[in-house]
């Protein structure tokens, strides 16, 4: 076999590996083919001119694709071009990204011919160091070469450079990989490694990799405690606890806070721990815990501008949730003063909180003027959610979908990502517009966690929306999601960014024909805060649920709702208020509200056709037909296909 490989390939411009693989198809031992390949390559390199052999050996040690700029640093142009040309037909290939071997097995076979590789690797490092503007890939090549040389000091130097570059470019997965390696290389010194552990845990939290966060935090804390460190542990403890909290595991959150919190000795660390508990109490609207943690913070002797700023911002958000507008405004003003004394990276906090709380207090009316700063659109820190909610409140549904999609593409953090998915799916429920496939796919991925029992308040809007969207196509699945959402709402208040949940839950209850749930919603049993949005949404959900379950409209309540949503600058939600005399609709059931395609679908539903049959007749996907049927339900106030048929039969004419 070896003789056959050598006979066919030696001295000819042909891919040696391709021949070896073709022979291997008739061999019972692939190891024989690999050995044959290595023998052929070794013999080929043995008879090559030394300069060309060295050229191939050095290239085999560099990660592909190898940029031409690096080759120009390692060889002069008059040398490397002839070497490249001589090696291209048999060993190398080129494309716009750089140079590479025709097959990974060729590079491996060449590496095995190198007796001592350290001198070559040092030359490669020196060549990359000469590049005027080395890319992240170049830095990774140096790191790999330094590691192969066993030079920990040089590897660490370039890891730090790569960490800075990845941080500047917000390449979080790469930054996490680099920090993991830095931590592994460095001996434990609390003042150096604890900040790295903390930074890494924050990144994993942002990437929704909760298990990685817990692993990193526990590893860092255990190493610190074993070394006798008792200060500056709070950032790791809080990051770890937040990972558990974001996953909805309140018991684990409390357990971790208790287990590691007892090791915090400084007032600064204890303040940070209390701030985390304060954060959870704001989002869960736990006033008793909020007051308890606030008292603890005020009792501690610490003067930390960052902690002071975070405290003012959290107090402002809680005040907004409790309807204490004047107090909220005073705290926002205070946070602006405090922001002058914190690092520049944190000075955005007062402005972001001002915008968020302004939206909560007065809706779209006064928030549009805050949608840009210095001519640029806000992003991150909850601003994408506010933008999507603003678009939804004025009826710009497609804009709301686009904002959510754009933010998801940018890989928002785990918590914000779930909030955005919930907003996108709920916009589809409330408007009847088909939800973009990308948002639906993301929602269904999260639904697996919901069904598995994950109790996370950020998942509640997704569960509620999918329950409404899937009520007809998959009732058991929709019912499970609906019950999960109701259970979560009974346990904790609706999150501030998800004030629309009561109305979405009412829609889901209607589509599931759950009269008990409708009656409970009509009695206002969903726990919400006292911001105007939440009060109006709870009232809308209660009014619609009462109307749907009893059929008795309350004209004064409807007038009050119109007034509330007018004050919030939310004409879209006014359109959802059932008109007088309309007992089972979020919109007036006039046939003119139906699109041409919806009229076609209504006619076919009235004939008794299934969604699949309608999809075949209209040459559309079944999912698209489901969207049209859902729109018809919204517009004519039906809750079953039989009601659609009855409604259709009473129309004087409904041309397709």
Same domain, 26 and 79: yes
Structural domain contains residue 61: yes
pLDDT score of 158: 95
Give domain status of residue 583, yes or no: no
Q: Categorize the per-residue pLDDT at 617 as very low, low, confident or very high, splitting at 50, 70 and 90.
A: confident
Q: Are residues 296 and 219 in the same domain?
A: yes
| 334 and 401 fall within a common domain | no
More confident: 364 or 258: 258
Residue range 122-143: mean pLDDT, rounded: 92
Higher pLDDT, 593 or 217: 217
Distance, CA of 125 to CA of 150 (rounded, Å): 13
Average pLDDT estimate for 350-369 = 76
433/311 same-domain check? no
SS (H, E, C) 404-435: HHHHHHCCCCHHHHHHHHHHHHHHHHHHCCCC
Q: Looking at residue 210, what is its pLDDT?
A: 76
Structural domain range at position 50 = 2-115
Domain count, the chain: 5
Question: Are residues 410 and 494 both part of a single domain?
Answer: yes
| Domain presence at residue 330 | yes
Strand spans (E) along 442-599: none
Average pLDDT of span 552-575: 83
For residues 313 and 297, state if they share a domain: no
- The token duo for 387 is 């933008």
Task: State the angle between helix axes of 622-636 and 596-606 in degrees (0 to 180), rounded to the nearest 10.
Answer: 90
**What pLDDT score does 411 carry?**
56
**Does 392 share its domain with 532?**
yes
Does residue 548 have a cis peptide bond before it, meaning omega lies within 30 degrees of 0? no
Q: Indicate whether 208 and 298 sit together in one domain.
A: yes
Q: Give the model's pLDDT for residue 410.
A: 66
Q: Model confidence over 445-458: pLDDT tens digits?
A: 888 877 776 666 77
Residue 130 domain-assigned (yes or no): no
Query: Which tens digit of pLDDT belongs to each residue from 88-125?
Result: 878 998 888 889 998 888 899 999 999 889 999 999 99
**pLDDT confidence of residue 332:** 94
Instruction: Indicate the average pLDDT of the chain.
Output: 82
334 and 417 together in one domain = no
627 and 504 in a common domain: no
Provide the pLDDT for residue 639: 77
- Cite the DSSP H helix spans in 47-135: 50-60, 68-74, 77-88, 104-111, 118-129
Residue 474 lies in a domain: yes
Quick one: 389 and 481 in the same domain?
yes
- pLDDT average, residue stretch 574-601: 60
Three-state DSSP at 651 gives: coil
C-alpha torsion angle, residues 379, 385, 390, 393 (rounded to 10) = 170
The domain that holds 533 is classified in CATH as 1.25.40
Q: 498 and 357, same structural domain?
A: no
> What is the band of 1 on the pLDDT scale with cuts at 50, 70, 90?
very low
Is residue 414 predicted with pLDDT exceeding 80? no
Task: Name the domain boundary from 115, 147, 167.
Answer: 115
């Amino acid at each position: 076999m070896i003789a056959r490989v050598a006979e066919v390939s030696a001295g000819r411009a042909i891919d040696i590996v391709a021949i070896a693989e073709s022979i291997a198809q008739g061999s019972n031992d692939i190891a024989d083919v690999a050995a044959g390949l290595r023998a052929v390559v070794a013999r080929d390199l043995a008879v090559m001119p030394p300069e060309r052999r060295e050229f191939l050996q050095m290239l085999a040690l560099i990660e592909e694709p190898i940029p031409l700029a690096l080759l120009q640093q390692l060889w002069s142009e008059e040398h490397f071009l002839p070497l490249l040309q001589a090696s291209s037909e048999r060993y190398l290939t080129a494309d716009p990204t750089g140079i590479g071997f025709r097959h990974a097995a060729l590079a491996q076979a060449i590496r095995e011919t190198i007796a001592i590789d350290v001198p070559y690797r040092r030359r490669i490092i020196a060549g990359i160091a000469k590049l005027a503007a080395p890319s992240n890939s170049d830095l990774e090549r140096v790191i790999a070469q330094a590691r192969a040389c066993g030079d920990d000091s040089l590897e660490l130097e370039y890891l730090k450079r790569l960490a800075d570059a990845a941080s500047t470019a917000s390449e979080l997965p790469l930054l996490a990989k680099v920090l993991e390696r830095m931590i592994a290389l460095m001996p434990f010194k609390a003042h150096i490694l604890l900040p790295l552990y903390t930074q890494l845990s924050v990144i994993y939290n942002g990437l929704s990799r909760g298990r990685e966060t817990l692993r990193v935090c526990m590893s860092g804390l255990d190493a610190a405690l074993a070394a006798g460190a008792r200060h500056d542990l709070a950032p790791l403890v809080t990051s770890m606890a937040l990972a558990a909290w974001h996953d909805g595991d309140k018991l684990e959150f409390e357990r971790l806070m208790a287990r590691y919190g007892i090791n915090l000795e400084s007032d600064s660390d204890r303040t940070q721990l209390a701030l985390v508990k304060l954060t959870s109490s704001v989002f869960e609207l736990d006033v008793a815990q909020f007051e308890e943690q606030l008292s603890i913070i005020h009792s501690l002797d610490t003067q930390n501008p960052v902690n002071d700023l975070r405290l003012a911002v959290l107090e402002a958000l809680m005040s907004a949730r409790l309807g204490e507008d004047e107090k909220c405004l005073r705290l926002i003003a205070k946070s602006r003063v405090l922001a002058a004394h914190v690092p520049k990276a944190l000075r955005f906090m007062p402005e972001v909180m001002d915008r968020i709380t302004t939206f909560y207090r007065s809706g779209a009316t006064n928030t549009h003027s805050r949608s840009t700063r210095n001519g640029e659109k806000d992003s991150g820190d909850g601003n994408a959610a506010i933008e999507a909610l603003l678009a939804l409140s004025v009826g710009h549904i497609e804009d709301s979908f686009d904002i959510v999609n754009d933010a998801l593409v940018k890989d928002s953090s785990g918590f914000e990502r779930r909030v955005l998915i919930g907003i996108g799916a709920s916009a589809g429920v409330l408007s009847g517009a088909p939800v973009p496939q990308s948002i639906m796919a993301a929602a269904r991925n999260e639904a697996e966690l919901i069904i598995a029992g994950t109790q996370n308040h950020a998942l509640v809007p997704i569960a509620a929306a999918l329950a409404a969207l899937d009520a007809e196509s998959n009732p058991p699945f929709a019912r499970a999601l609906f019950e999960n959402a109701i259970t979560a709402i009974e346990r904790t208040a609706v999150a501030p960014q998800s004030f629309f949940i009561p109305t979405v839950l009412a829609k889901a209850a209607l589509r599931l024909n759950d009269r008990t749930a409708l009656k409970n919603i009509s009695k206002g049993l969903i726990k919400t805060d006292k911001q105007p949005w939440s009060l109006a949404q709870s009232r809308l959900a209660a009014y619609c649920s009462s109307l749907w379950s009893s059929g008795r409209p309350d004209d004064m309540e409807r007038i009050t709702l119109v007034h509330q949503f007018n004050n919030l600058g939310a004409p879209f939600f006014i359109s959802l208020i059932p008109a007088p005399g309309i007992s089972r609709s979020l919109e007036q059931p006039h046939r003119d509200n139906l699109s041409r395609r919806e009229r076609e679908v209504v006619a076919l539903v009235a004939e008794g056709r299934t969604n699949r049959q309608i999809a075949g007749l209209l040459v559309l996907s079944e999912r698209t037909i489901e969207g049209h049927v859902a729109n018809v339900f919204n517009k004519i106030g039906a809750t079953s296909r039989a009601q659609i048929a009855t409604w259709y039969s009473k129309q004087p004419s409904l041309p397709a």
